[in-house]
Structure 1
Amino acid sequence: MRTTSFRIPRRPRLLTAMLAASALALTACGGAGAGADGGSDRPVVLTTFTVLQDIAQNVAGEHLTVESITKAGAEIHGYEPTPGDIKNAAKADLILDNGLNLEAWFAKFVQGLDAKHVEVSAGVEPIDIAADAYAGKPNPHAWMSPANVQKYADNMANAFAELDPQNADAYRANAAAYKTELQKVQDELTTGLAKLPRNHRALVTCEGAFSYLTRDAGLTEKYIWPVNAEQQATPQQITSAIEFVRANRVPAVFCESTVSHAPMEQVAAASGAELAGVLYVDSLSEADGPVPTYLDLIRHDTETILAGLAGNSPGAK
């Protein structure tokens, strides 16, 4: 599945009008707090994608019903909401989105809905995209740093406490426990990287989705393209990556699960680096998949990066 970041699809006017009308009608008749099963009296929190859903569920515990608009494996950047999404959103008491220009479709989605919405990336120091058509706009992938997700957890706890004051202490306690787990991942990454030669502390990926992780872990970042796009990588982009890997003798390179690995295979073949594994970014897997929770995702990615840069990846010779 190919991710297309920041692409705002042209929605037919008829569909836009239908979604807006559905939102207004369903807000009037839908019962907030009905929940997915139609019977729970817990407040309903709706997130824009599965990563946020899982983080929010850890903070919410048993006190809230947390759902995601998009499903596991869905493409988030250019998602097109359906009338069914609007129907589900009409039940929500609170909607959480990432912000940082990730959900280009979100403004139209919430038109006519009564639910409050909160950007969970508030307080994160943004990193601007460095090149191409989106240069100067914030990189939206702030959740790829476990240090940033600690801010997400606090923002969620505060939003949940406002929504449901009687359980405010539980939300803040859940957030504190979750932040402890996130800090363990951050510490394991930085400790592992400190054992490597300095020139090996570089993360070379297909997309520039790891800017926050590299900043917070002290890695040098290099990618083939800054934002996923429909076109293939250019020869200049591939050559630049090859030259970086050669100059720094970087032992391993990586690619995300949602894009073709062919460009990075060229980089690896030409530079002598190992293509050391798949990294996950935008979506969790199904429950029986490799990354069913955010902690699974970020642990998988950090462990894969450390193993590759240390020469211990499964494919290393």
Structure 2
Amino acid sequence: MLKSIRLALALSVITLTGFAVTPAMSASLKVVASFSVIGDFAKNVGGERVEITTIVGPDGDAHVYEPKPADAAAVAKADLILVNGLHFEGFLRRLIETSAPKGTIVELTKGVEPIAFKTEFAEAKESGYAGDEGHKHDEGHEHEDHDHGAIDPHAFQSIPNARIYVKNIAEAFCAADTDGCVDYQTNAAAYIEKLDALDAEMREAIALIPQNKRTVITSHDAFGYFEHEYGLAFLAPQGLATSSEPSAADVAKLVKQIRQDKASAIFMENITNPALIQQIARETGIKVGGTLYSDALSPPDGPAATYIDMMHNNIRQIKGAILGS
């Protein structure tokens, strides 16, 4: 009897040990995310099955980022390279040419309906990678510099678009790691439920803001999709690119427009120099309402450590500055 018990215990330990080490035995999917928002999406979908390297980290500006040798090494070894697309990543062309990746480049804005950016203010020319989702990098292909043209690349500022990013990530992970597909799909579905709840919260908060108080000012034009989706109006002197420098005439034009439109609040951004916004605040008499997170998350101990935290922070700052609550 004692031998039987010992045998049963031994078998149970072997069985449990086998289940415990199975995830560790499978190699992690090596994923590179171009900037912090995409990195957060990828973590929520991939869970423990993926190893994620994020190129442009917290409070980083993808418009002006200069790739490092470590970035090229990570891209060269990656199974998947997740990028925004729509020429958002100004550094991407150089990085792809330097690293010559063998992995798949996945453009997460596939399926997004692009919107035009506002042309009130000038913007600087940037370069980007003009690839298609799911296509391997062609080492012999010559990339050309591109500007944004008429397209706003900040699609992630709309939560319905964030759902598209997440679905595209899940599809890419499933294609690269079929054994983990059920896990990826399950994780994506759970995260999309959270995004749905967040979207409802955003709409409820904005419904409390009177229509005549829904104009705000930010540093650069990163909130076009937010405006399009939720009904706020954003004015920005720097256009789409943080590298652009508005002229004195541009600033004067914005100040005049702010006075005409009776803007209710003005905000700094985590990735831009606050001097311009402070100047506009002085000239218009509008108090700076706080900091919005546009193209990057905050560090882990900040108010926007995740995409969901970022959107919560932004609507809380906007609503608080306008309504005083």
TM over 0.5: yes
SS at match of 2:288: strand
Match of 2:306 in 1: 293
How has the CA–CA distance of structure 1 residues 72 and 197 changed in structure 2, closer, same or farther, with 3 Å as cutoff? closer
For residue 99 of structure 1, the aligned residue among 85, 95, 99 is 85
Match of 2:107 in 1: 119
TM-score, length basis structure 1: 0.79
Match of 1:20 in 2: none
- Distance across 2 between alignment mates of 1:82 and 1:231: 23
Q: How many residues align?
A: 275
Match of 1:308 in 2: 321
Give the RMSD, CA atoms, in angstroms: 2.3
Give the drift of 1:232: 4.5
Q: Which letter maps to 2:255?
A: I
Q: Indicate if the aligned counterparts of 1:268 and 1:275 stay in contact, CA closer than 8 A.
A: yes
Match of 1:22 in 2: none
Residue 218 (1) aligns with residue 231 (2): yes
Map 1:42-57 → 2, pairs under 5 A = 42-57=28-43
Match of 1:77 in 2: 63
Q: Which letter maps to 2:52?
A: V
- Distance across 1 between alignment mates of 2:270 and 2:189: 31
Q: Which stretches in structure 2 are left out of the alignment for 5+ residues?
A: 1-24, 124-146
TM-score, length basis structure 2: 0.77
- Distance across 2 between alignment mates of 1:51 and 1:268: 29
- Distance across 2 between alignment mates of 1:287 and 1:229: 24
- Distance across 2 between alignment mates of 1:191 and 1:240: 33
How has the CA–CA distance of structure 1 residues 236 and 190 changed in structure 2, closer, same or farther, with 3 Å as cutoff? farther
Q: Which letter maps to 1:256?
A: E
Q: Indicate if the aligned counterparts of 1:146 and 1:182 stay in contact, CA closer than 8 A.
A: yes
Q: Which letter maps to 1:194?
A: A
Q: Which letter maps to 1:278?
A: T
Match of 1:19 in 2: none
Comparing 176-185 and 47-56, the one that deviates more: 176-185
How has the CA–CA distance of structure 1 residues 261 and 78 changed in structure 2, closer, same or farther, with 3 Å as cutoff? closer
Comparing 230-239 and 163-172, the one that deviates more: 230-239
Match of 1:234 in 2: 247
Q: Indicate if the aligned counterparts of 2:53 and 2:74 stay in contact, CA closer than 8 A.
A: no
SS at match of 2:56: coil
Comparing 266-275 and 189-198, the one that deviates more: 266-275
Map 1:197-216 → 2, pairs under 5 A = 197-216=210-229
- Distance across 2 between alignment mates of 1:254 and 1:42: 41
The percent of aligned pairs where both chains have the same amino acid is: 32
Match of 2:266 in 1: 253
Give the drift of 1:230: 4.6
For residue 163 of structure 1, the aligned residue among 176, 182, 185 is 176
Which structure's CA Rg is the greater one?
2
